[in-house]
């Protein structure tokens, strides 16, 4: 979750995607979207913060292979709604930039899904286990629940599954970081959290059983096998 401190101190737009779509202006006012396609378009732009996207690409994404003329009209309506809902003062930074029939979200927009991935990227490069655990915990705190659960478009389902896999691995890596620190209480807590959230995660179950065995708890190993 993007914190209120982040929203107010940085005075940037924020787009929350994990657990549901929420868009907040730099001043902290949050905006409710009336159309699902508009929300889907903004979500796509927010997940690709350093790219510009043509109207044709966005039309295909939002409406697939329907009539081209209808798509163009629909896209114009969505863009008009976007301009109206997210209007800013003359000197303020806009949420979305429009240039040569292409749209791009402002590079400074704060997005929990992007922050989540950036923190995971930093954790992979961090050699110190305590710092790595801190980065992983910070990333995991952003993952309230899966990406945009209220949407069912194909591209969102694919992105949702990808982030779920990142979340699974982050929990597994956090348990390993704790193991390297000999913090066995947190190892158990993290692995239990992993297999509770992802019951089919075989490596998580094996790691938890190994942990119980190493800690001298054969009864818990058997209970884990029987689950």
Using one digit for the tens of pLDDT, what is the confidence trace for 96-144?
988 888 999 998 899 999 999 999 999 999 999 999 999 999 999 999 9
DSSP bridge partners of 86: none
Q: What's the mean pLDDT when you consider all of the chain?
A: 87
| Structure confidence at residue 35 (pLDDT) | 66
- The structural domains of the chain, ordered by start, are 4-110 (1.10.10.10), 112-226 (1.25.40.10)
- For residue 9, is pLDDT > 60? no
Output DSSP code: residue 48: S
Q: How many percent of the chain have pLDDT more than 90? A: 51
- For residue 190, is pLDDT > 80? yes
**CA angle (54, 56, 60) in 5-degree steps:** 120
| Structure confidence at residue 7 (pLDDT) | 42
Q: What is the mean pLDDT of residues 207-223?
A: 82
Q: What is the mean pLDDT of residues 139-155?
A: 94
Q: What does the block give as tokens for 193?
A: 């959290």
- For residue 43, is pLDDT > 80? yes
What does pTM read for this prediction? 0.85
Q: What is the mean pLDDT of residues 146-164?
A: 94
- Residue 20: which residues within 8 A CB-CB, separation 6 or more? 148, 149, 150
| Structure confidence at residue 68 (pLDDT) | 54
Numbers of helices and strands, H then E, in the chain: 10, 7
- Note whether 167 and 18 are within 8 A (CB): no
Q: What does the block give as tokens for 102?
A: 């292409």
* 18: nearest Cα among 136, 117, 97: 117
Q: How far is CA 100 from CA 54, 97, 173, in A?
A: 9, 10, 44
Kindly report, residue by residue over 54-111, the tens digit of the pLDDT: 988 998 888 876 655 577 788 888 888 888 777 766 557 888 988 888 999 998 899 9
Q: What does the block give as tokens for 56?
A: 């044709």
């Amino acid at each position: 979750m993007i914190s209120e401190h982040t929203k107010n101190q940085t005075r940037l737009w924020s787009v929350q995607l994990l657990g549901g779509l929420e868009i907040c202006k730099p001043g902290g006012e949050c905006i409710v979207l009336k159309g699902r396609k508009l929300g889907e378009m903004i979500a796509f732009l927010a997940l690709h913060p350093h790219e510009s996207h043509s109207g044709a690409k966005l039309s295909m994404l939002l409406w697939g292979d329907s009539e081209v003329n209808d798509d163009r009209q629909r896209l114009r309506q969505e863009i008009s709604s976007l301009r109206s809902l997210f209007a800013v003062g003359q000197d303020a930074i806009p949420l979305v930039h429009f240039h040569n029939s292409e749209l791009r979200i402002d590079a400074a927009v704060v997005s929990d899904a992007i922050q989540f991935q950036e923190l995971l990227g930093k954790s992979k490069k961090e050699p110190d286990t305590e710092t790595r655990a801190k980065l992983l915990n910070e990333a995991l705190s952003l993952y309230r629940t899966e990406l945009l659960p209220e949407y069912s478009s194909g591209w969102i389902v694919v992105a949702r599954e990808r982030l779920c896999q990142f979340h699974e691995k982050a929990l597994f890596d956090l348990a390993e970081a704790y193991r390297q620190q000999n913090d066995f209480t947190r190892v158990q807590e993290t692995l239990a959290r992993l297999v509770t959230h992802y019951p089919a995660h075989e490596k998580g179950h094996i790691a938890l059983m190994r942990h119980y065995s190493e800690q001298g708890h054969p009864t818990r190993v058997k209970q884990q096998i029987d689950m």
